[in-house]
Amino acid sequence: MTKTHEAAPVVAFAGAVRTFGEVRAVAGLDLTIGRGERVALLGRNGAGKSTSISLLLGLDEPTAGEVRLFGEPPQHAVRAGRVGAMLQGTKPVPRVTVRELVNFVASSYPNPMPVDEALELAGLGELAGRRADRLSGGQAQRVNFAVALVGDPGLLVLDEPTAALDVAARRSFWQSMHAFTQRGKTVLFSTHYLEEADQNADRVVVIDRGRVIADGSNTDIKQAVGASLVAFDLQGRSAPAGLASLPGVLSVATRDGRVQLRTADSDATVYALAQLGPVRGLEVTSAGLEDAFLALTSPATTSASVFSAPTQKAGS
């Protein structure tokens, strides 16, 4: 590995475009990820996440622009064993035990971690002797995780990794993922469980319409779209007129008989709301990542980047 490649970021998209006929699934994606980062990739269905991951793993080629892993084409990094992936839709291999499967995968990497260590990290110590095709959905997902990390890759790509896992298994999974990144490894994961992104990523990237629209820490993204939510009950009545024009209000939504106002100044909003009449079930909270995500990806939001990525860590 040359010094240039050693200093390169782990992931680098530069103006990456991927078109399918008239459809631009990825539309000029710029993204850089450094060593040791835990990055959540978020987006609506059809936003370009899956296509971006395919480009990242060398499963597809960009129509224009460039994608690099560790300073080289994705296919080179994958063949060198520097990348592990846990993708959706994988099927268990029949008639082999979990240990046999993980051991076989480990043998294809130049410098794998010990198989027992991978099994323990994935929470499979007690299932190592079981047939891989006779496990529950959650257990099979843990096998996929062990297969992805046993090569001890510098980059681990996880696509909806906790699908089919129960609450306890999810907690165990994220503990394992944190232990993996403490070795200086990089993890990029996509998820529809936004609370998991909030709790387990140190950086969140939101893509929409095939490009990055927000990139920063969880706190940065929440603050960028309004830091507070003001909610109250309708109790069978219609929502008062003029809510969108109240001081500080950035957006208005009605869900399950409650009105939710996203506001940049909760004090001013509550004071003005009280002037409209009695308010029932009033609640003021900080905006969560889910609220920020919905605001960023609403049809009214432009596709321009909300803010830039933080300074990157040194590459591996």
User: Do 91 and 211 fall into the same domain?
Assistant: yes
What does the alpha-carbon distance between residue 115 and residue 210 come to, in Å, rounded to a whole number?
Answer: 38
Structurally, how many domains does the chain consist of? 2
Q: Is residue 310 part of a domain?
A: no
Residue whose structure tokens are 């999974």: 173
Q: Is residue 302 part of a domain?
A: no
User: Do 115 and 45 fall into the same domain?
Assistant: yes
pTM of this prediction exceeds 0.85: no
User: Do 202 and 251 fall into the same domain?
Assistant: no
Output the DSSP codes for the chain.
Answer: --HHHHHS-SEEEEEEEEEETTEEEEEEEEEEE-TT-EEEEE--TTSSHHHHHHHHTTSS--SEEEEEETTB-HHHHHHTT-EEEE-TT--PPTT-BHHHHHHHHHTTSSSPPPHHHHHHHTT-GGGTTSBGGGS-HHHHHHHHHHHHHTT--SEEEEESTTTT--HHHHHHHHHHHHHHHTTT-EEEEE-S-HHHHHHH-SEEEEEETTEEEEEE-HHHHHHHT-SEEEEEE-TTSPPPTTGGGSTTEEEEEEETTEEEEEES-HHHHHHHHHTTS--EEEEEEE--HHHHHHHHTSTTS-SS-SSPPPPPPPP-
Q: Which domain holds residue 253?
A: 226-296
CATH number at residue 12: 3.40.50.300
The total of other beta-carbon atoms located within 10 Å of residue 17's CB is 17
For residue 166, what pLDDT is reported?
A: 86
Q: Is residue 17 part of a domain?
A: yes
User: Do 177 and 270 fall into the same domain?
Assistant: no
Which amino acid is it at 45?
N
* pLDDT in single tens digits along all 316 residues of the chain: 544 456 789 999 999 999 999 999 999 999 999 999 999 999 999 999 999 999 999 999 999 999 999 999 999 999 999 999 999 888 888 999 999 999 999 999 999 999 999 999 898 989 999 999 999 988 999 999 999 999 999 999 999 999 878 888 889 899 989 988 988 999 999 998 898 999 999 999 999 999 999 999 988 888 777 668 899 999 888 889 999 999 999 889 898 899 999 888 899 999 999 999 889 999 998 878 888 888 788 765 544 445 554 444 444 4
> Is beta strand 11-20 parallel, antiparallel or unpaired with respect to 155-159?
unpaired
Q: Is residue 316 part of a domain?
A: no
User: Do 152 and 239 fall into the same domain?
Assistant: no
Quote the longest CA-to-CA distance of the chain: 70
User: Do 208 and 243 fall into the same domain?
Assistant: no
What does the alpha-carbon distance between residue 143 and residue 175 come to, in Å, rounded to a whole number?
Answer: 16
User: Do 182 and 279 fall into the same domain?
Assistant: no
For residue 300, what pLDDT is reported?
A: 55
CATH number at residue 261: 3.30.70
User: Do 251 and 205 fall into the same domain?
Assistant: no
| Nearest CA among 17, 54, 42 for reference residue 189 | 42
